[in-house]
Amino acid sequence: MTDNSNLNDGLSESTRNSENPSNVTRRRALMMGAVTASAVVSIKPALAQTAGSVLNCEIPVPGNHAAGGYIGPDGKIVSPDTPGAFPPAGRNFTGEEVKRAMNGRSLPGTSYDQSKAYVNYIRRLQSGQSGFTCYASLQMPR
């Protein structure tokens, strides 16, 4: 039998001693940087696509849950004979249009007061109602 304990395993003494904690930490930091960089490269396009789809989503005014109802100035669904109430919009508004209206502009094809009532309606949307997901995604910071 031969004694293999004294055989060189292919590494010099200086190479074996270079595995000190600072070298290991530096190597791990470099690996983490590489992983992070590849994650950023793959996530950024997804975020850009999400931002684009948020602006293209649609909000019906009123939604399916209130079909036939009119919109009161405070955004509540009211009967058609309510004084000061506005008829249904007749078309869906995109997320981009709603975002602009929430920042002070009017919704396209509406008067100032009508737009204000529609935006109040949109702000009152709750989970499960048509357009809620679109509205909620407009509220998310980017």
Decide which of 32 and 9 is more confident: 32
pLDDT of residue 121: 94
Q: What is the C-alpha separation between 47 and 50, in angstroms, rounded?
A: 5
Q: Please tell me the predicted confidence (pLDDT) of residue 30.
A: 66
The dihedral over CA atoms of 28, 34, 40, 46, expressed in degrees to the nearest 10, equals -110
Write down the pLDDT at residue 44: 46
Query: Do 61 and 71 contact (CB within 8 A), yes or no?
Result: yes
Q: What is the pLDDT of residues 24-63, one digit of tens each?
A: 677 776 666 655 555 454 444 444 444 556 678 999 998 8
Take residue 19 and report the two structure tokens written for it.
Answer: 């595995």
Whether the pLDDT of residue 76 is over 60: the answer is yes
Closest C-alpha among 142, 121, 141 to residue 131? 121
* pLDDT greater than 70 at residue 68: yes
| Average pLDDT over every residue of 85-112 | 92
Query: What pLDDT was estimated at residue 66?
Result: 79
pLDDT of residue 141: 66
List the chain domain ranges: 8-54, 58-139
